[in-house]
Structure 1
């Protein structure tokens, strides 16, 4: 009888320990292990199938990258999954990714946790698919490089909470990124395109795909890695392609007032890596005034992140000559308009209909009315490309207008605009880049330029 009591006590103790160790984390399955319900393909034509409770993707010739994407979008989350990849392949897990008709004809773009079985061994690094390229590689992280297991199942953990993204491969910290480019998007599994020298039909597999979207602070994990900050920094791809920071994110170096030898003493502020022109009643250059680069630029590609407040008006000017217009108002130059189209009356003004709306060539050419504009209070990205006399305006990755300077059509537009009184308007070979003070609060960051 005594032995029976001992046995019973042992069984109860085992059950109690098992229950105490039970994972009560509120995980949700993204894959039901039987079908591809909740997922769809986008991009290329590589096939996906379900076999032995795993999703399997296989390579095919003559097709671009293929993505199996979730029907739902996710913002903040913790994602875990297992994967196994053929040694010759390259793949990845997209997250906070999107596909828009106007962006590269719908190409999938966004963050990717790399799957890299090559000798480079960057599995767990963070790549920005179809945008900025590598954000965090593993060159400085040999522990993570060595954590990948060739021809075996590997485990990933991806945490995306606010502007902080962290990854682990087989429990080893791989990447720690601070970046606020995209806050929400789908999750996707990638089958990479292949060349003629690769073998068709090679496979990558995923299983145990689960996500956590509640109580993330409770379940998030500290990373010992020093975070990589992208604000006002060049990515590796940008450095390799000749980009330079036009503003360092901390000082006024390289900039001055449009009518001053130095930077304005008031009207602008620098805080937390953001350059802001302060509100002063909506007047044009009546407070701190416009600021310009000290350098002149001719052929260039410019990228600027900007954020407007409600009813705001501002602009990015180029080919600016600060010796023109010594009187009231802003310095003279071609202008990429920044405006709250919904609330500012300028959106309905101008000699050419719609030419004073967001991303337009101010008072000359209207931007595409279907342009992708983020809401007031969120960041947008302006891009201006000037090569020879050809100029393009881009907004959030989409080209919204293009034109050619110095030809008859351009000069007719100028003759019908507010610039008619300025001889040879916009026809200089080079000029300053200008950020406009129009009396409304507008913020800027990540100001980068590539010049010829």
Structure 2
């Protein structure tokens, strides 16, 4: 009998310093009894173990609180279950850090979101105290129903190399490619509530927290939209989706002058993986050598202070540079932001026709990288996206679109924006603007 107990103990796991090393490569990060192997940073929310569960409770007048693993992890698969108050926001930090030289030890890094609100971005990816939202669920709206209120929910996070993926209750949610931080701790967040006494005492609970960090194999690709933050990189998942690079960080061979067959000899330059139009030189607009029908175009852009530029599409026979325009503009410093009608010349707007939704925009200001996205569907629907949020949607050819054109500066251009196929254009508006990670796929 004693021998059987020893065998059973070895099969179920070895308890050491409060951490259970389980079978099949999994390690339990929580022993079900106490918080050995964890430490609390930043805020003063209450963490305790009750009935084999970690319970976090909100406390007023304290910042975000984090219960962090004492050990750092690089590549891993993390699984846990959580139960969240429906009026509470939380998150799971991973590859995160707390450094004296960074905001006085403020916890920062990747966070897998816990969001029971109507926004429903649970298992999206946020960069806590650093870059903000990296992967919103607007990008993958089919996953918005994955979180179950009033129930235990199972989260899974897979980090292998620069690939970061999340699942919620078995539903694939986010797929991020990023290389900013390769290693860090895991933490359970209790979000700060300010001085709101009504929200004090709300709880989130965690259990069955386990990690695997050896002999990892990526899960099969499941078709989730990819956000790739590695400059000019085309991931295997993006290749499977049909994307190709229009700029690899070095060559301009896929581009030419809008008014000729060669790339401009002046006014544009390639340096440090960036394609830039320069102020005061007048190199002219550039267009892709290839023409595209319905497409999805992803691009990073950085405008300098007070700059103006744009990405044009739907270009037909009305002039080499006349077409629908995704506006690129420093709204704070360029006067054109106040021209037009109801803000239809501001950043990410359909220039001179439809303003970008201001409430939904995540804007990075001058000299910071923004992520643009244009989708032109076969049925005529068109969308503009900015930093993971849809800010413009319209349908070419319907009566609303025709009325808008009739009231715009394009009223005299017959068939404006209606070309079924055409090049993509990057505008030279005589200001310095930088581009990278130019990717396209036909729909």
| TM-score relative to the length of structure 2 | 0.59
Structure 2 distance, partners of 1:439, 1:414, is 26
Partner of 1:394: 385
* Equivalent residue runs for 1:176-191 within 5 Å: none
* C-alpha deviation, 1:268, in angstroms: 0.3
Q: Matched residues in 2 for 1:126 and 1:396: separation?
A: 19
8 Å Cα contact 2:257-2:287 kept in structure 1: yes
Per the alignment, in what secondary structure is the counterpart of residue 336 of structure 2?
A: helix
Q: For 1:300-449, what aligned pairs fall within 5 Å after superposition?
A: 300-321=295-316, 323-325=317-319, 331-350=321-340, 352-370=341-359, 371-387=361-377, 388-449=379-440
1:165 is aligned to 2:181: yes
2:3 maps to none
2-structure distance, mates of 1:354, 1:399: 16
**Given the superposition, is the C-alpha separation of residues 389 and 341 from structure 1 closer, same or farther in structure 2, using an over 3 Å criterion?**
same
Q: Pick the structure with greater CA Rg.
A: 1
Distance 1:365 1:425 in 2: 15
Helix, strand or coil: the match of 1:166?
coil
Q: 5+ residue gaps in structure 2?
A: 1-37, 57-66, 70-78, 103-107, 129-155, 167-171, 191-205, 212-227
Tell me, in whole angstroms, the C-alpha distance in 2 between the residues paired with 1:340 and 1:273.
23
Question: How far, CA to CA, are the matches of 2:258 and 2:117 in structure 1?
Answer: 35
Q: How many aligned positions are there?
A: 309
Structure 1 portions without partners, runs of 5+: 1-26, 38-46, 80-92, 113-117, 137-162, 170-185, 191-200, 207-227, 281-285
In 2 relative to 1, CA 101–205 (structure 1 residues): closer, same or farther, beyond 3 Å? closer
Query: Is residue 450 of structure 1 aligned with residue 438 of structure 2?
Result: no
Residue 348 and residue 272 in structure 1: after superposition, are their counterparts in 2 closer, same or farther (change >3 A)?
same
Instruction: Name 1:58's counterpart in structure 2.
Output: 81
Distance 1:95 1:232, change over 3 A: same
Written as runs of structure 1 = structure 2, the 5 A alignment for 1:155-304 is: 164-167=180-183, 203-204=208-209, 230-280=230-280, 287-304=282-299
Root mean square deviation of aligned Cα: 4.5
- Cα offset for 1:301? 0.8
Deviation at 1:314, TM superposition (A): 0.2
Deviations 1:368-423 (A, max 9, x none): 12211112111001111110210011110011110000111111110100001110
Match of 1:13 in 2: none
Task: Report deviation, 1:33.
Answer: 12
Deviation at 1:97, TM superposition (A): 6.4
Shift of 1:68: 3.7
In the aligned structure 2, how far is the partner of 1:445 from the partner of 1:367?
22
Report if the CA contact (8 A) 1:99-1:109 is conserved.
no
Counterpart selection for 1:95 from 110, 133, 151:
110
